[in-house]
Amino acid sequence: MTLFRDGVSGLPRDGRPVVATVGTFDGVHRGHWSVLEEIGARAAARGGRSVLVTFEPHPLKVVRPEAAPKLLTTPGEKKEALAGSRLDYVVFLAFTPELREYSPRRFVTEILVGGLGMGELVVGHDHGFGRGRSGDADTLRDIGAELGFAVDVVEAVRAGSAAVSSSSIRRALAEGGLAGANRGLGRPYPLTGTVVAGDGRGRELGFPTANLSVHGDKLVPAEGIYACRATVSAGRFMGALHIGPRPTFPGAEAAVEVHLLDFDGELYGDEVRLELVERLRPVAAFGSAAELAERMRADVLRAREVLAGGRGAPE
Give the residue numbers marked as catalytic: 257
Q: What is the largest CA-CA distance in the chain?
A: 72
Do 118 and 152 contact (CB within 8 A), yes or no?
A: no
- Amino acid letter at 97? P
Q: Please give the Cα distance from 131 to 295 (Å, whole number).
A: 53
